[in-house]
Homo-oligomer: A and B are copies of this chain.
Amino acid sequence: MTMRDIPPVVVGRLPLYLRTLCYAQQEGLTTISSHELGRRLSISAAQIRKDLSMFGEFGKQGTGYPVAALIRQLRRILHVDRVWDMALVGVGALGRALLAYQGFAKRGFRIALAFDNDPHKIGQRVGPFVVQDVARLERALQEADIRLGVIATPASAAQAIAERMVQAGVQGLLSYAPIHLQLPEHIQVEYIDPVIYLQRMTFYLGAVDQGAAAEALAEATPCGQD
């Protein structure tokens, strides 16, 4: 179990199961069926059973899965039965929101270091953090043994920052910069670009009353990214 030959699409669902199980636990459920878990996630019960069965036999016929035990198992499988320290680069509006976000600590993550290259920001306090000079990135990451990075820089800076973090030993990157990073294969990378998600939706939304559409037409929207 916890093999590395699990289909990536299955790995992608495990955190959703964990999150949903946590809510169920807070509601007082001690047991949950694949059907109920699937209902809460709009995923089929068969899929959930198949996914979980890749890691062991966690359920019991007739009653379903024990919530607390399954949470423990998933946290072990996902390696969030510990706290992961992260380094944040880019203390703009988004970076500050991430520094303030309480949801990381509650689910196994903690921003330990924050960097920027703006002399006005370096040394500044942001909540419990002091913004570090990005020039110190490599040294600070190695000293703190950081393995996860969060990129909240402009797109134009992201590739170079990513390479430096990888050089300093980072193995996973969560990038909010709207650009695809070129990195060694063994590096885990996940992207969050809200515009990508919005455009996936507008594909399906289609036709609009032409009053609103005319208001700001085709060439009014430049291609600019950054």
Residues of B contacting A148 in the complex (Cβ-Cβ under 8 angstroms): 198, 201-202, 205
Given known A180-B42, A188-B204, contact A82–B213 (CB-CB < 8 A): yes
A103, A106, A193, most chain B CB atoms within 10 A: A103
Residue-wise interface mask of A (194-217) relative to B, using a CB-CB cutoff of 8 A (1 in contact, 0 not): 111111111111101100110111
Residue A18 interfacial (CB < 8 Å): yes
Residues of B contacting A48 in the complex (Cβ-Cβ under 8 angstroms): none
Residues of B contacting A6 in the complex (Cβ-Cβ under 8 angstroms): 203
| A186 to B126 Cα, complex, angstroms | 42
Residue A54 interfacial (CB < 8 Å): no
When the two chains form their complex, are residues A107 and B225 in contact, meaning their CB atoms are under 8 A apart?
Answer: yes
Binds B, one of A19-27, A116-124, A132-140: A19-27
Taking the closest CB of chain B, its distance from the CB of A51, in whole angstroms, is 13
Residue of B with least CB distance to A219 = B81
When the two chains form their complex, are residues A200 and B11 in contact, meaning their CB atoms are under 8 A apart?
Answer: yes
Residues of B contacting A40 in the complex (Cβ-Cβ under 8 angstroms): 180
Residue A145 interfacial (CB < 8 Å): yes
Residues of B contacting A11 in the complex (Cβ-Cβ under 8 angstroms): 200, 203-204
When the two chains form their complex, are residues A205 and B103 in contact, meaning their CB atoms are under 8 A apart?
Answer: no
Residues of B contacting A190 in the complex (Cβ-Cβ under 8 angstroms): 197-198, 200-201
- Cβ contacts A to B, 19 pairs, < 8 Å: A16-B180, A19-B178, A19-B193, A71-B223, A75-B221, A78-B203, A82-B217, A82-B221, A83-B220, A83-B221, A93-B96, A97-B97, A104-B194, A104-B195, A104-B198, A147-B205, A147-B208, A174-B201, A188-B201
Which A residues form the contact surface with B (CB < 8 A)?
2, 4, 6, 11-12, 14-16, 18-20, 22-23, 25-26, 40-42, 71-72, 75, 77-86, 92-94, 96-98, 100-101, 103-104, 106-109, 145, 147-148, 150, 171-172, 174, 178-180, 182, 188, 190, 192-206, 208-209, 212-213, 215-218, 220-226
